[in-house]
Structure 1
Amino acid sequence: MQKIIISGHSRGLGKALAEHYLAQGVQVLGLSRTLLPEQVGLTQIALDLQQTDTLSAWLAQGGLQHFIAEASEVVLINNAATVEPCAVAGRQRPSEITAAVQLNIAAPLMLSNTLLHIRQAGQTVKIIHIGSGAGRKAYAGWSVYGATKAALDHHARCLAAEQHERLNIASIAPGVVDTEMQAQIRSQNEQDFPLLNRFQQLQADGGLTSPQTAAETIAHMIADDDFGLEPIQDVRTWQALQDSLHCADAIRISSEAV
């Protein structure tokens, strides 16, 4: 039996992921400040993951251990994140820097560490960090966001290097997904965020991926037999590879039929 844990499950990509797995009849544990309407298969915990003391106290209570009981495979998707501060250095609020580090780095690392500590013998664990291209390429105005996402990439590399038994981990960049985070980015001041016009143009040109499409692709990546062989992944690269493989298969079948 597979069970899924998703942080930030009530909005955007996290919500789309929760809906995808619930539609497959998989039990989901959602961790978020706000909750979705009750539905079969969904367990929800109201948690502000920026408050690491609160998260630590909840983890100590054993709720995570209770949820994963009887599962043969546990999937943790560290999705919750903040893009703030969208500002060049010198114009960032200290409170926003602190919040970003706590939510984007501390919470995923705490959840991952606890899951590996409490899992039962024989349970397979898959950990997915929702990364970002901002953690792999420098963007003006995203020094904090990019640094936090780069930290998740390196955490995935380190856990892979530790060679834990029955653990597969990857940090997956989902591409530019049409979520509230994107709307938040487009509302910034250009003086603070030099990339503003680029993201406004992406929306105008229809260059955003829907949360549902991104969630479906990520779910396919997680289910792939090769998941975890490469700890740093990108939805667009993976999809392009699948398309090329399907094209090659179609050409082979066509040639065999001649």
Structure 2
Amino acid sequence: MKKILIITGGNKGIGSGIVSAYKNNSYQIISIARTLNQLDEYKEVKQIVLDLSKTEGLENAFSQILNTINKDIVERIVFINNAGTLGKIGRLETNSVSDIQNIIQLNTITPFLLTSIFLKETQNWHCPKKIINISSGAAAKPYYGWSLYCASKAAIDMMTKSVAVEQEAILNGTKIIAIYPGVVDTDMQTQIRKSSPESFVDVQRFIDLKESNFLVKINTVGQEIFGIDSLENYQNGAILNVSDYR
């Protein structure tokens, strides 16, 4: 029997930490991302190159990925919506139409679409099924200059809660949760620290977090997310923060 993890954006950042944690716990990994990770540890990871910022062809591609899996030998399957972008930092009116479209596509439309396909394609699978949405504390707290990011993540949180209600009402439903990973030492944090105070008034706080070694390493947060997934001591639709489990 196989334990399977499918993850978007598993090639770098938090995604690579998640891949490492699940791989070390005997999961077969399928990573969907725009680029490949060339490190040796990814030789056993099935990497699928797909631009998740575009809707065209996404439904067919993800359906095909799921249809290649023999459901009769799956012990457990986890799907993690991890890919995301902070987008352009600045007040909403400074964003172009394409800026707005790109961040809403990757952070909201793509996870909604992939979640829908996963639920449909695995409806008759009898193994335990789990969806984990990597959200952010920005879903619950507004930040100056992050209106698109905050709103797109808030949508993910409500989708998580609503889908949980739906899945609890049917036989063989899927468990779904959202997780706030906290401040992690990734390229996104580098982007934040390069912001001007005019576009992001809280930039100094994030600079201080880096200088004080407060940022969490990607492998650490990957292990924490795996640990939360393994606990199962929370309600379906829960919005969880890794800091509460340290």
1:118 aligns with 2:125: no
How far off is 1:123 after superposition? 2.4
Q: Which runs of 5+ in 2 are unaligned?
A: none
Cross-structure match for 2:31: 30
How far off is 1:89 after superposition? 2.0
Match of 1:199 among 203, 206, 213: 206
**Alpha-carbon distance change, 166 to 2 in structure 1, aligned in 2, over 3 angstroms:** farther
Q: Percent of pairs identical after alignment?
A: 31
Cross-structure match for 1:217: 224
Contact preservation (8 Å) 1:74, 1:124: yes
Report the secondary structure of 1:67's partner residue: coil
Match of 2:82 among 60, 79, 82: 79
Q: Which amino acid in the other structure matches residue 14 of structure 2?
A: L
Contact preservation (8 Å) 1:135, 1:146: yes
How far off is 1:15 after superposition? 0.7
Match of 1:147 among 143, 148, 151: 151
CA shift digits 1:43-64 (9 cap, x unpaired)? 111011001113123135x222
Match of 1:93 among 92, 96, 110: 96
Report the secondary structure of 1:59's partner residue: helix
How far off is 1:229 after superposition? 3.9
Deviating 4+ runs (over 3 angstroms): 38-41, 227-230
Q: Which runs of 5+ in 1 are unaligned?
A: 240-258
Q: Which amino acid in the other structure matches residue 11 of structure 2?
A: S
Cross-structure match for 2:164: 160
TM-score, normalised relative to structure 2: 0.91
Any residues of structure 2 matched to 1:9-88 within 5 Å, and which? 9-37=10-38, 39-60=42-63, 62-67=64-69, 69=71, 70-88=73-91
Report the count of equivalent residues.
238
Any residues of structure 2 matched to 1:182-197 within 5 Å, and which? 182-197=189-204
Q: Answer with 1 or 2: which has the greater Rg.
A: 1
How far off is 1:159 after superposition? 0.9
Q: Which has the higher contact order (CA 8 A, sep 6+)?
A: 2
Structure 1 range deviating more: 167-176 or 119-128: 119-128
Q: Which amino acid in the other structure matches residue 174 of structure 1?
A: P
**Alpha-carbon distance change, 228 to 65 in structure 1, aligned in 2, over 3 angstroms:** farther
How far off is 1:132 after superposition? 0.4
Contact preservation (8 Å) 1:84, 1:96: yes
Q: Which amino acid in the other structure matches residue 106 of structure 2?
A: L
TM-score, normalised relative to structure 1: 0.87
How far off is 1:169 after superposition? 0.8
Contact preservation (8 Å) 1:100, 1:144: yes
How far off is 1:121 after superposition? 3.0
Any residues of structure 2 matched to 1:120-135 within 5 Å, and which? 120-135=124-139
Q: Which amino acid in the other structure matches residue 20 of structure 1?
A: A
How far off is 1:228 after superposition? 4.3
Contact preservation (8 Å) 2:20, 2:222: no
**Alpha-carbon distance change, 68 to 157 in structure 1, aligned in 2, over 3 angstroms:** farther
Cross-structure match for 1:180: 187
RMSD: 1.6
CA distance in 1, matches of 2:140, 2:113: 23
CA distance in 2, matches of 1:214, 1:68: 30
